[in-house]
Amino acid sequence: MSTPMDMARFHALLDAYGASPARWPEAERAAAEALMAVNPMARAARRQALPFDAMLDTLTPPPLPVDLAARIMAAMPDRQPVPVPAAANSNVRSWPMALALAASAAIGLWVGIAAGPLTGNATAGDLASLDQQEVVALAFGPLAENGVYGDE
């Protein structure tokens, strides 16, 4: 509920902003209109302010030159086009990259776990003593019974 407005303030509004409620400060508009609704002097004061507004409103600007926008466009310096920042488009394209990163992390974790019992305490000497088949088995799990190395 806004504070009731007195006639002095109502006159001050008319003097500064004119007769149209749309131009009055938003915070005071309701109070001013409430005053007009109950006070004939307020309504009369507004009526007296209308002709001056009408006179000011006769001022019409010249038409916008039809070629002004084109002239401004032509005067624009070049700027190398760059990709629009993600925020200007949408974030729908970011999930494949996140998925790829997550998959890489999962593979790395799995390799680490698979090699866990040895690599946890392994030294360079331990690893050097393993043959190629053992290293592969540590990294990728046990080989098939009949062997992946075929002819070996």
Partner 1 sequence: MQDTASDDTDTTLIRKLAAGDRTAFATLLSRHLPVIHRLGWRLLGEPTEAEDVAQEAFLKLWNFAPDWRDEGASPRTWLYRVAFNLCQDRLRRRRVVFVETVPEVPTDPSDAPGAAMMEAERNARVKGALDALPERQRAALVLSYYEGLSQAEAAAIMEIGEEALESLLARGRRKLRELLAADGRELLGEMT
Residues lying near partner 1 in the complex (CB under 8 A) are found at 12, 15-18, 22-23, 25-26, 51-52, 54-56, 58-62, 64-65, 68-69, 71-73, 75-77, 79-85, 87-88
* Closest CB 95 distance from partner 1, rounded Å: 21
* Closest CB 64 distance from partner 1, rounded Å: 5
CB closer to partner 1, 12 vs 106: 12
Sort 53 into a burial class: Cβ within 10 Å, 0-12 / 13-18 / 19+: middle
3-state secondary structure 23-56: HCCHHHHHHHHHHHHHCHHHHHHHHHHHHHHHHH
* Closest CB 28 distance from partner 1, rounded Å: 10
CB closer to partner 1, 53 vs 114: 53
Pairwise CA distance, residues 135 & 128, whole Å: 10
Alpha-carbon Rg for the chain, nearest whole angstrom, is 40
CB closer to partner 1, 93 vs 128: 93
User: What 3-state class would DSSP assign to 82?
Assistant: coil
